[in-house]
Amino acid sequence: MKFSVNQTAFINQINNVLRAISSKTTIPILTGIKIVVAKDGITLTGSNADITIQSTMTTAESSNELVVEEPGAIVLPARFFSEIIKKLPEKTVTVAVHEGFQTKITSGSAEFIINGQDAIHYPHLPEIESDVTIKMDADLLRDVIDQTRIAVSKQESRPILTGIHILLANGELTAIATDSHRLAQRKVKVDTGDASYDVVIPGDSMTELARLISDEKDPVDLQIAENQVRFKFGNTLFYSRLLEGNYPETSRLIPDTADTTIEVEASKFLSTIDRASLLSHQGHNNVVKLTIDPDQGVAKISGDSAEVGNVEENVMADSVKGAELEISFNPDYMSDALKSFGQSTILISFTSALRPFTLVPTENKEDFIQLITPVRTF
C-alpha cells in the first residue's frame, strides 16, 4: 500500500473520523484509524462501537493532491498517527506499508516508521438495508439537535432518556428529549413520503453529528434500519446505533392551559438569569425565584445566598398577563432553554407554582417547546 496526499486535506478528514475514536474502548483495534486505499481514492474509518464515521478522499478532487501508487489497507494508532501528520514539515505526505504492517510516513526530510495492524480484524460497518432516504438541510438538522440535546438525560439509570426521540411521519420530523426535569420538543417539515419511523438516537451521537455538519452546505441524507441510523453528507458517512426500548409518552406532560403568561425577548431575559445565577451558584440550592404581578405589569427575578448576599432585578417584559405567581426554578435549566431561542421573542406560560411551565416562540408556537419543572422551596 502506498499513496501521497496533501497534508491539510488529509488532516481535515482524519479530524472528522477521530471524533468517533475513543481511547477507553474495550476493543483495542478501535483505538486505531482504518485506512483503505483503492485506485480512485482512500477511505478513513473511525469507530467506538456506538458511532462510526467514514470519510472518503478521491483522486478526482484536485485539492486532495492524491496519488495512489499501490492499493491496500491498514489500521494505524489514531492519535499518534494524527499528531505525526499534523507536525510534518512539507505539504505533501507519503504513506507506505511494508511487510509486517510496518508503515513509513515521509514528508520532506522527516520520516517516521510506526507499527500498524491488519485491517481484516477491524469490525465491519453495519449494513443499512433501507430503500427510504430522507433529505434534510444541514443547518436545519443542526438546529433541531442543538435545541433538543440540552434536555437529554446524563443518568444511565434510565438509558432510553439518554437519547433523542425521533418521530418521522406525515411529512414531519419531531425530535423530543427529556431528563424528567425538563423537556425540549422541536417539529420541522420534511419529505417523509409514505415512510414512518419511531427511533431513539443516543444524545452523544447527535452531539457529534451536529459538530460534524456545522459547516456543511450539502443536504444530509438520513436512512434508518432496525438498530442503526446513517447520515450521509458530502464525502462522509456517519453511523450510530439506536437505543433499545420505548421512549415514554411525553405529550401529556405539556400543559394546554395557562393562568399566567409573560412575553420577553429571550436574549434579554437570558442576561437577567445569568446575573441572578451568579449568586445562586454560590448557595447550597441553585435556585432563583420569579415573582409576577400582572396588576402592576411587573415580573421580577430574585435570588439569595446566605454566604454572599442577594439579587433582585425587574424583567424587561413586553407583556405580563393573568394571575399573581411566585415560582422557583433552576437557573441553569432556564439559561439552556433561553439560549436555544436565540434572539426570538418568547411566551412563557405558567399554571401554578408547582406545575411545569413552557417556553415557546411567539411565532410558530407549535413547532418548538421547552418545558421546565419548578423547584419546591417550601
Q: Does position 98 have pLDDT exceeding 70, yes or no?
A: yes
**From CA 264, how far away is CA 259, in angstroms rounded?**
17
Residue 189 neighbours by CB under 8 Å, 6+ apart: 171, 172, 173
Q: Does position 47 have pLDDT exceeding 90, yes or no?
A: yes
Query: Residue for cell digits 501521497?
Result: 4
**From CA 30, how far away is CA 48, in angstroms rounded?**
6
**From CA 185, how far away is CA 366, in angstroms rounded?**
9
Mean pLDDT rounded to a whole number for the chain: 94
Predicted confidence at residue 364, as pLDDT, reads 81
Q: Does position 16 have pLDDT exceeding 90, yes or no?
A: yes
Average pLDDT over residues 333-349: 96
Predicted confidence at residue 356, as pLDDT, reads 96
Q: Does position 283 have pLDDT exceeding 90, yes or no?
A: no
Instruction: Say if CB 128 and CB 138 are below 8 A apart.
Output: no
Dump pLDDT digits (tens) for 112-154.
999 999 999 999 987 887 788 999 999 999 999 999 999 999 9
Average pLDDT over residues 258-284: 91
Predicted confidence at residue 378, as pLDDT, reads 63
**From CA 165, how far away is CA 184, in angstroms rounded?**
10
Dump pLDDT digits (tens) for 191-200.
988 889 999 9
With 0-12 / 13-18 / 19 or more C-beta atoms within 10 angstroms meaning exposed / middle / buried, residue 63 is exposed
Predicted confidence at residue 34, as pLDDT, reads 98
Instruction: Say if CB 159 and CB 140 are below 8 A apart.
Output: no
- Who wins on pLDDT, 359 or 365? 359
Q: Does position 284 have pLDDT exceeding 80, yes or no?
A: no
Average pLDDT over residues 251-274: 94
Predicted confidence at residue 309, as pLDDT, reads 85
In one letter, which amino acid is 304?
D
Mind listing the domains of the chain with CATH numbers?
2-121 (3.10.150.10), 134-241 (3.10.150.10), 254-372 (3.70.10.10)
Sequence length of the chain is: 378
